[in-house]
Amino acid sequence: MSDTQQKSKYTKRGLAAIIALSLVLTVFTGVLFKIQVIDGEKYAAAGSSIKVKTVKVEGARGDILDRNGSPFITNRQGNSIIFDYSFFPSSKEQGKRNTIISALIDMFESRGLVWIDSLPIKVSPAGNAYVFEADREKDINELKTEILDLQNYATAQNCMDALIEKYELQSFDPIKARKIASVCYGMRRILFSVSAPYTFADDVPTEVVALIKENSAFFLGVDVEIVSYREYTDGALMPHILGRVGLISAEEYKEKKENGESYALNAVVGKEGIESVMESYLRGARGIKTVSTDADGNVTTDYTIDPEQGNTVVLTVDKNLQEVAKDALSNGLEELREDSMVDPAGAIVIQDVNSGEILSSYSYPSYDVSTFSKDYNELREATNSPLWNRALMSTYSPGSTFKPCTAIAALEEGIITTETYFRCTRIHNYLNHKFQCLQPHDHLTMNVVSAINESCNIFFYNVAENTDIQTINKYATILGLGQKTGVELPEASGRLDDPEYRASINQEWMPGFTLQNAIGNGGSMFSPVQLVNYCSTIADGGTRYRPHFVKTVKTSDYSSTVIESEAEVLLETGISESTLNTVRRGMELVGSVGYCKYAFAHLPVKAAAKTGTSQVDRKINGVTVTTNNGFLITYAPVENPQIAICIAAEGAGSGSSLAPIAAKVYDYYFNEMGTFDEPQCEGELLS
């Protein structure tokens, strides 16, 4: 290549480089001009922003309504006091943290306000020692092993010593140290961070919010957040069924995480009742908000994803009927107090015979779920167990309400017919034992229909001599007794008495046990919800449904149905119509001419019933005494059964004393309310 050609080549390369550099400078100048001139204000604002954080926001929980759309539980807006990690003193400034926390505690307690105190340790009554709180084993274990890294055998004092050292609380008295430690423990438990703010108190009055805001220079990082709170139309109406919500526990968080469910460590979840079992439907969908704070302290909030309210759960319960049943039971049991050696207690369950829907359920004594947190210690220590759901969780020896089952077993197996008669001699001798008829008048000769009406023990003792316990239990099982009914809420299984059960408690099975079980006074134990379902099965012609509380689940705007609960047949029992008619005739006589006739006389429909009484040994003031439990199962109308009722009363003199309670329910249902064949307001909302 010649020198001229080589120089020409270099000249072209240099020119290309100059052009490329010019283009880069031109683009750079253009971008710089756009940033500084055209978008100058935008980038200046962005440059002055000192903090940007993203926070997950829980959606409001869904409403819980009665079958006609009347609310049991809704939501309302309220104030939570939270600690904002971005501004709250860091863990390296524990002294500042303690000062702020101590002042907040003083502010709240001086006004009688509650703050969130979840530490499972309390100061002893004498004020000189720390002790673990009762029934907090799981929280205590978490505190020892996960929070403090102590051994399982560590005492409450060991834990507090570790907390005092960890959070520099040596200068505080034992009571105040424990309170501040509780807040610090709560912050540690939820992994306090930008994305996990700590809630110090819920539902705080506006005047306290204002006071905190006015002193924001002192209360660094203490902020207010508007959140949704559960609103109860009547917290005392049905607390055992509706349940409650509360902060998620460590065990719940772990369980939900293992199930693939995403919850925050400070999430509010259903703890009991419908709130718990319908958690996945009631829980709202999380949203995401971005909070930006500029150099001047101005805060802007934008929702990247809006939170969504949870689904609406519609129950089978009728709110007005529930109120009638609640008042009838509580007032009726209190009226029986004078004749009882024990405090009044019991339950009522009302069921739709033709679908299994629970129309009402109430346990007495009860409580107000809206004041649960404030009343918890008193409720927990109450000797009459108001927190216990007797309708579903208590089991009882059913007394003579079991006699229809014994009659069904004997009739179906051909052991007796409607023409089988036994004479009541008031004493039945069997294997050198005397079994008595406890009714106050002579029964003379009777068949199965009159024996059910008169509740004659002697008749059923004679039946039991020819019917083994396996046969009786076979029909009890068919009728759903001694087993869980399948209702959505936690329930007791109960049991059927037999040689296997007696062996499990180191007892020999005695032949006389069959006779006792035949009249409902053996070792078999049933819950009120089992007894009402058993009554419904007899009334309905032998179809056993699954009892249920949930009618439907709808989206929060009612635009679509998520779940529609259909009547679920658990078993077509196959019991013959002739057998059921025979037993029903006996129960009809109880309602018209027997033990319930005076209570039922004024009703607009005829009601069938069976009363029962069982003896129970109780300790009263340290002395063992024998008292009675009373039971009533009943259905109406006898011609076309619609509803069944079970009432159980601890310490009641007899089952017949409960008939006025059932009469009040029937009077309202058939006189004022009508029937559920034509729902009052069910319409499009709940269809």
pLDDT digits (tens, 9 = 90+) for 45-54: 555 556 677 7
Stretch among 26-35, 240-249, 529-538 having the lowest mean pLDDT: 26-35
Stretch among 20-24, 214-218, 230-234, 399-403 having the lowest mean pLDDT: 20-24
CATH number belonging to domain 52-85+194-315:
3.90.1310.10
Taking 50 as the threshold, does the pLDDT of residue 683 lie above it?
Answer: no
Taking 60 as the threshold, does the pLDDT of residue 682 lie above it?
Answer: no
Q: Name the pTM for this structure.
A: 0.85
**Where do the domains of the chain lie?**
52-85+194-315, 117-192, 319-369+389-676
Burial class (CB in 10 A: 0-12, 13-18, 19+), 151: exposed
Average pLDDT over every residue of 345-371: 97
Of 232, 143, 281, residue with least CA distance to 564: 281
Taking 70 as the threshold, does the pLDDT of residue 1 lie above it?
Answer: no
Taking 80 as the threshold, does the pLDDT of residue 328 lie above it?
Answer: yes
Other beta carbons within 10 Å of 396: 27
Task: Judge whether 667 and 636 are in contact, CB under 8 Å.
Answer: no
Confidence of residue 38 (pLDDT cuts 50, 70, 90): low
Residue 619 bridge partners (DSSP): 624
Stretch among 333-347, 392-406, 425-439 having the lowest mean pLDDT: 425-439
Confidence of residue 125 (pLDDT cuts 50, 70, 90): confident
CATH domain 319-369+389-676 topology: Beta-lactamase (3.40.710)
pLDDT of residue 487: 98
pLDDT of residue 14: 62
Average pLDDT over every residue of 28-34: 58
Confidence of residue 2 (pLDDT cuts 50, 70, 90): low
Residue 537 to residue 574: CA distance in whole angstroms: 11
pLDDT of residue 537: 98
Can you spell out the DSSP letters for 263-302? Answer: --TT-EEE-SHHHHHTHHHHSPBPEEEEEEEETT--EEEE
Residue 445 to residue 369: CA distance in whole angstroms: 53
Dihedral (CA of 107, 111, 114, 117) sign: positive
Q: Write the pLDDT tens digit of every residue in 591-640.
A: 999 999 999 999 999 999 999 999 888 877 778 888 899 999 999 999 99
Q: Which residues contact 151 (CB under 8 A, 6 or more apart)?
A: 144
pLDDT of residue 528: 98
Task: Judge whether 647 and 661 are in contact, CB under 8 Å.
Answer: yes
pLDDT of residue 216: 93
Task: Judge whether 371 and 235 are in contact, CB under 8 Å.
Answer: yes
Say which residue, 174 or 292, is predicted with more confidence.
Answer: 174
Burial class (CB in 10 A: 0-12, 13-18, 19+), 229: middle
Average pLDDT over every residue of 499-503: 97
